[in-house]
Amino acid sequence: MAPGQICKVIIGAGPSGSIAGALLRNKGYHVTIREHQRFPRFSIGESLLPQCMEFIQQAVMMETGVHGGFEYKDGVSFVYRNRQTEFSFEDKFTAGIGTAFQVQRDGFDNLLASEAVRKSIDIQWQMEVIAVDFTGDKSKLKTRDEAG
């Protein structure tokens, strides 16, 4: 890290952590992510919404989804007994991308984290943050590694 460069620490390398890391890195910050687990790991939440795509695009990580070969999802269909209602994401109230990805989270999260590493973000795996102290001049994190 260059002298005087501000270091940002993120807890967790899930989609939020990797994307937030990339956004900060793109602004020139040095970023470290401490992640409790090692990826790929199972996670639930496969059905992305269009706003996710906006964040992925802002973080310049869209290639991750495209190259990951994930299926594009253009809307949803709710079925209840003999009734069916369909919503197209193009019909949403806000401007912007009108599609999303359907992903397997283990692979998707791992790809986003790999992209973060490619952007020179330092991901420290199997490091659990157990305490954060914001009281002094500088924030302090207490972490526990694999060995305890």
Ligand X SMILES: Cc1cc2nc3c(=O)[nH]c(=O)nc-3n(C[C@H](O)[C@H](O)[C@H](O)COP(=O)(O)OP(=O)(O)OC[C@H]3O[C@@H](n4cnc5c(N)ncnc54)[C@H](O)[C@@H]3O)c2cc1C
From CA 125, how far away is CA 114, in angstroms rounded? 12
Residue 61's contacts (CB-CB under 8 Å, 6 or more residues apart) are 18, 19, 22, 112, 115
Q: Which residue has the tokens 């695009």?
A: 57
Q: Which is nearer to ligand X, 82 or 102 (CB)?
A: 102
- Specify the residue, 31 or 48, whose C-beta has the smaller distance to ligand X: 48
Q: Helix (H, G, I), strand (E, B), or coil: what is residue 75?
A: strand
Whether a cis peptide bond, with omega within 30° of 0, leads into 3 is no
Residue 32 interacting with ligand X (CB under 6 A):
no
Q: What is the total count of residues that contact ligand X (CB under 6 A)? A: 20
Nearer residue to ligand X within complex by CB, 11 or 60: 11
> Interface with ligand X includes 47 (CB under 6 A)?
yes
Q: At closest approach, how far in Å is the CB of 109 from ligand X?
A: 6
Residue number, 2 or 131, with CB nearest to ligand X:
131
Which parts of this chain interact with ligand X (CB under 6 A)? 11-17, 34-37, 43-49, 128-129
